[in-house]
Chain A
Amino acid sequence: EPEVTQTPSHQVTQMGQEVILRCVPISNHLYFYWYRQILGQKVEFLVSFYNNEISEKSEIFDDQFSVERPDGSNFTLKIRSTKLEDSAMYFCASSVEYSNQPQHFGDGTRLSIL
């Protein structure tokens, strides 16, 4: 069964550094998402992406964050200048349609900011 893959599985970065998290969504999916989960807390929506542009973003997704689909397969999340509070699991998800369809999640990237 096709799946969403994320790399790396664990990223350790110094505060203030830039980090890029990578995702390969399922190939025939059109909608892409990033979520994060701070340890022990609920999964929070960051951003959704369709047709090469952001569809919706949350308050968390401030100017430090950006997303890109640089080619036909990858979907990336960039954090420009990381803060300690950015430490979390970051999950990529994709879906065939935006509504009434399940979202398929990757296993996440654990981001640790030192």
Chain B
Amino acid sequence: SQQGEEDPQALSIQEGENATMNCSYKTSINNLQWYRQNSGRGLVHLILIRSNEREKHSGRLRVTLDTSKKSSSLLITASRAADTASYFCATDFRGNTPLVFGKGTRLSVIA
């Protein structure tokens, strides 16, 4: 399977703590994207990181990409209860292929 796989499957933290989620994949990619899904809602795009980039930031989000290890991580700093959601990585393998999603990490932030 070429899909990304997130780790852990579920994560529960206290408000204010940092949350780190990891994604691994098996073949070379063109880019990797992170999405958030609140319960019963659609996916919201968070960050896209290209294969020649190593790190990107967006507000409290930090994404890293290690193509040698075929892995990416999403760090949410100073988490809030509103960050409670499922987080998915999605890989774009050839630049002209549809996104392939992992199974997601369910993040619970407890106030």
Q: Mark A12-51, 1 if CB is under 8 A from B, else 0.
A: 0000000000000000000001010000011111001000
| Contacting residues, chain B, for A104 (C-beta < 8 A) | 45
Number of A-B contacts defined by CB within 8 Å:
58
Segment of A62-70, A80-88, A94-102 in the binding face = A94-102
- Interface size counted on chain A using CB atoms at 8 A: 25
| Contacting residues, chain B, for A58 (C-beta < 8 A) | 98
Nearest CB on B from A103, distance (A): 6
Q: Are A102 and B98 in contact (CB under 8 A)?
A: no
- For A99, give its contact among B3, B42, B45, B95 (CB under 8 Å): B95
What's the interface size class on B, roughly?
20 to 34
| Contacting residues, chain B, for A35 (C-beta < 8 A) | 101
Interface residues of A in 72-114 (CB under 8 A from B): 91, 93, 98-108
**Residue ID in chain A nearest B47 by CB atoms:** A102
Nearest CB on B from A60, distance (A): 12
**Residue ID in chain B nearest A40 by CB atoms:** B103
Nearest CB on A from B44, distance (A): 7
Measured between alpha carbons, how far is A101 from B98 in the docked complex, in Å? 11
| Contacting residues, chain B, for A42 (C-beta < 8 A) | 3, 88, 101-104
Q: Are A105 and B44 in contact (CB under 8 A)?
A: yes
- For B42, give its contact among A41, A101, A108 (CB under 8 Å): A108
Give B residues with C-beta under 8 Å from A.
3, 30-31, 33, 35, 40-45, 48, 50, 88, 90, 92, 95-104
Known: A98-B95, A105-B43. 12 other contacts (CB 8 A): A4-B42, A35-B101, A42-B3, A43-B88, A43-B101, A56-B97, A99-B95, A99-B96, A100-B31, A102-B45, A103-B99, A108-B41
Give A residues with C-beta under 8 Å from B.
4, 6, 33, 35, 41-45, 48, 56, 58, 91, 93, 98-108
